[in-house]
Amino acid sequence: MEIQIHPIGKSRIDEVDFNNLAFGRSFADHMLIAEYANGAWQSMTIQPYGPLSYQPAMMSIHYGQSIFEGMKGYRSAKGDVLVFRPEENFKRFNKSAVRMCMPEIPEEIFLGGLKKLLEIDNAWVPNKEGCSLYIRPFMFATDEYVGVSPSTTYKFIIFNCPVGSYYSKPLKVRVETEYIRAAKGGVGFAKNAGNYGGSLFATQKAMQAGYDQIIWTDAATHQYVEEAGTMNLMFMVGGSLVTAPTGDTILDGVTRKSVIQIAKDWGIDVQERQLSVKELVSGILDGSVTEAFGAGTAAVIAPIQTIGFEGKDYQLPDKKDSDFSSKVFTEINQIRLGEIEDSRGWVWKV
């Protein structure tokens, strides 16, 4: 499919302070837009990032057919643009699409369109330590109709943001035992907008109580640790890496699976199993739980310092360079920057 290109008249790049990048507040010059209608993807356009105009009855706003992905691009020392495992995000995007009755996207648009977009906005990929270009592909229903049914038209868009860290300090998280994020048979594994909207109320309450994030527990019993919504959760328990198994309720995170692979390659025992909050708390108290951290594209590896449960705060040991989470962060960072050999074939060079 040919890409129509309408370049920006004058780049906005000089308006951005690359030395003080927040997460998700600045937007690169261009975006890619593909349109779906009459049962097929019709066109692909690259045009300046900017407002789009839609009807108030656009279905995605009312009934939530809206999915997204998150990826990151990095500037290598040689000046290349490297994207971390975008094929995994492509596959997951289509799983989300199927679950939400939306059309799957061809690789030619998701990865082919992204490649062209990154060639055009190459200058927006930061080269400062800790910074990257956050890539946000998303798709939403565009039919103008108030009945509840799958839309027949969709837009797929990719825009990019030069970003700094998502979390800037070790986190204080609270185990949520009242509200739920996802239930068996639901859409928790899909990256649909509603999962995030549904998480805001409980997260806001935790923040008002002085926490940064929530640990979601299973909907049926509230006994088992699930994920954090913005990232998967991982723990070092007695020298083993423990994380909840993916399924209906947990996002199959790309950083999660990368951490698991690296741990296995390093000979560390990995247990994808249910971890009860009881086991977690008693493990913190008896010292067998030595690390807790989140893993996600935006968050990368986010160490957890404090876990709140039933009104009490439990402290994890201070983060050390010899921790698994510190070492795995360094390994992932070096792979995505092209600083060490990419023996697993994870890096996609634009």
- Using CB under 6 A, list all residues that contact ligand COI: 70, 230, 296-298
The least distance separating ligand COI from the CB of residue 297, rounded to whole angstroms, comes to 4
Structure-block tokens of residue 191: 């990256």
Decide whether 195 or 217 has the Cβ nearer to ligand COI.
Answer: 195
> What span, in angstroms and rounded, lies between the C-alpha atoms of 118 and 116?
5
How many CB atoms sit inside 10 A of residue 86's CB? Answer: 24
270 HSE (CA, 13 A, CB side):
18
Decide whether 283 or 296 has the Cβ nearer to ligand COI.
Answer: 296
The DSSP 8-state label assigned to residue 59 in this structure reads H
The least distance separating ligand COI from the CB of residue 16, rounded to whole angstroms, comes to 19
Length of the chain, please? 350
Decide whether 113 or 296 has the Cβ nearer to ligand COI.
Answer: 296
Are residues 182 and 226 in contact, defined by beta-carbon separation less than 8 angstroms?
Answer: yes
Decide whether 192 or 290 has the Cβ nearer to ligand COI.
Answer: 192
> What span, in angstroms and rounded, lies between the C-alpha atoms of 231 and 256?
8
3-state secondary structure at position 32: strand
Decide whether 66 or 230 has the Cβ nearer to ligand COI.
Answer: 230
Rg (CA), the chain: 21
The DSSP 8-state label assigned to residue 58 in this structure reads B
- By beta-carbon distance, which residue lies closest to ligand COI? 70
The least distance separating ligand COI from the CB of residue 227, rounded to whole angstroms, comes to 11
Q: Which of 350, 349, 331 is nearest to 341 (CA)?
A: 331
Q: Please enumerate in sequence order all residues whose Cβ is within 8 A of that of 53, keeping only pairs 6 or more positions apart, or say none.
A: none
The least distance separating ligand COI from the CB of residue 230, rounded to whole angstroms, comes to 4
Are residues 228 and 214 in contact, defined by beta-carbon separation less than 8 angstroms?
Answer: yes
Are residues 116 and 3 in contact, defined by beta-carbon separation less than 8 angstroms?
Answer: yes
Decide whether 70 or 162 has the Cβ nearer to ligand COI.
Answer: 70
The least distance separating ligand COI from the CB of residue 251, rounded to whole angstroms, comes to 9
> Strands 66-68 and 132-141: what pairing?
antiparallel
Amino acid at 173: V
Angle at 267 between CA 265 and CA 273, to 5 degrees: 90
Name residue, tokens 């690259």.
46
The least distance separating ligand COI from the CB of residue 298, rounded to whole angstroms, comes to 3
Decide whether 296 or 308 has the Cβ nearer to ligand COI.
Answer: 296
The least distance separating ligand COI from the CB of residue 323, rounded to whole angstroms, comes to 21
Give me the phi and psi of 330, to 5 degrees please.
-60, -45
Name residue, tokens 């057919």.
65
Decide whether 29 or 227 has the Cβ nearer to ligand COI.
Answer: 227
Decide whether 70 or 86 has the Cβ nearer to ligand COI.
Answer: 70
What angle separates helix 254-265 from helix 86-99, to the nearest 10 degrees?
A: 130
The least distance separating ligand COI from the CB of residue 315, rounded to whole angstroms, comes to 26
The least distance separating ligand COI from the CB of residue 239, rounded to whole angstroms, comes to 28
